[in-house]
Amino acid sequence: MRIPGRGRVPLFSSILWPFVLDAFPLVFDLRSYRAGLKALRLPSLVIAAVSCALGIVLAYQAGRGDWINSAAVMVAGLALQAGVNLVNDFFEFHQRKVDDKVANLRFTPRQRETLEWLIFLVGLALFGVAGLVGLFIAWRTGWPVLVLGVTGFFGGFFYTGEPLNYKRRGLAVALVFFLMGVIMISGSYYAVARSFSWDIAAISVPVSFLVSLILLTNELRDYEADVRHGIRTLAVRIGYAPAVRVYCGLLFLAYATPALLALAGIYPHLRYLYLALPFAIPPFLLMGRPPAARARIVPAVMLHHLAFGTLFCLAYFLPSAVRK
């Protein structure tokens, strides 16, 4: 690296060493871990857990289970989403279009900048873990798994990453239907069963509707802040009330499509699935609350997703779940 008046300066001494000096104290600062957990958004990992679990369950139900690949799929899926969460926290911070989520921790500006770079590097490390596990799965299963993994990586990276940043283009709700829904579920099934089935893609649709619903819930929670910062999410583009109607439509489709799948003979039964409906009530009620109270809506919708996903999978094991 060349600095005017000083000639060529080694990269390590000019950039990396100062960063190491700034980062070292943060490694021993408990506030850093609190900020990291905030950026990790642990409840959101339910999305990857449910999608991967459904693909694995469907593989076992088809008589093609593989416990090694099943464990690898779950690790890769969770690592990928955790990496996506951390990297997107970094992009949102540097775009200066969101309120600082950890302002209460009172970092200095220099510490805050260094912390975000540490969060970004951990996110990239998690992408690396997902990639290595993906290579292992591809070695045991086949190269199409790599295509699915690369698709997931780019889809997650460019959620808020430039130049695509499909969140501000209002495309997030639609794209995650495929990325974290249909593709992740079908890909998990392929990685375990070593085959693809259009029936599996069809079975993934109800859970995929709920994945889109979760992203829309995020946009409804942040509606006022996104308007203030000029972030053109789907909710901002169509307005709060129309976005709530889209939310209700997605919720209806998530519960209606299993009935159609059962009628088509590719989903066992609905006996227990609708026990998840009570979990859908709290998020709906929170939508009419003021912005500060609306902060609880995302954990509530994640709990509903976990209940729905668990019951959706258990239909294959609970009484009357055997196909005739």
CATH classification at residue 55 = 1.10.600
Task: For residues 116 and 133, give the distance between their C-alpha atoms in angstroms, rounded to a whole number.
Answer: 26
Mean pLDDT of 173-189: 94
User: Percent of the chain beyond pLDDT 90?
Assistant: 63
Task: For residues 22 and 8, give the distance between their C-alpha atoms in angstroms, rounded to a whole number.
Answer: 23
pLDDT of 11 reads 54
pLDDT at 322 over 50: no
Expressed in percent and rounded to 5, the helix, strand and coil fractions of the chain are 75, 0, 25
Pull the structure tokens for residue 44.
């959101």
Q: At 128, is the pLDDT very low, low, confident or very high (cuts 50, 70, 90)?
A: very high
Task: For residues 78 and 52, give the distance between their C-alpha atoms in angstroms, rounded to a whole number.
Answer: 9
How many distinct structural domains can be found in the chain? 1
pLDDT at 133 over 60: yes
pLDDT at 324 over 50: no
pLDDT of 323 reads 45
pLDDT of 320 reads 60
Residue environment code for 88-109, b if the CB has 16+ CB neighbours within 10 A, otherwise e:
bbbbbbeeebbeeebeebebee
Mean pLDDT of 41-47: 94
If one counts every other C-beta atom within 10 angstroms of the C-beta of residue 1, the result is 11
Mean pLDDT of 85-96: 87
3-class DSSP assignment, residue 103: helix
pLDDT at 3 over 50: no
Position 65 in a domain: yes
Position 153 in a domain: yes
Position 254 in a domain: yes
Mean pLDDT of the chain: 89
Task: For residues 152 and 128, give the distance between their C-alpha atoms in angstroms, rounded to a whole number.
Answer: 13
pLDDT at 161 over 90: no
Mean pLDDT of 126-155: 91
pLDDT at 57 over 50: yes
Expressed in angstroms, the distance from the first to the final Cα of the chain is 69
pLDDT at 7 over 90: no
Position 99 in a domain: yes
Position 16 in a domain: no
pLDDT of 1 reads 45
pLDDT at 316 over 70: yes
Among residues 250, 261, 243, which one has the least CA distance to residue 208?
A: 250
Using left for φ > 0, alpha for ψ between -120 and 50, and beta otherwise, residue 258 falls in alpha
Pull the structure tokens for residue 54.
């459904």
Residue span of the structural domain in which 302 resides: 30-314
Pull the structure tokens for residue 14.
């000019």
pLDDT of 52 reads 97
If one counts every other C-beta atom within 10 angstroms of the C-beta of residue 143, the result is 8
Position 15 in a domain: no
Position 171 in a domain: yes
What's the number of CA atoms in the CB half-sphere (13 Å) around residue 203? 30
Confirm if 39 and 105 have CB atoms less than 8 A apart. no
| DSSP H/E element including 7 | strand 7-8
Position 142 in a domain: yes
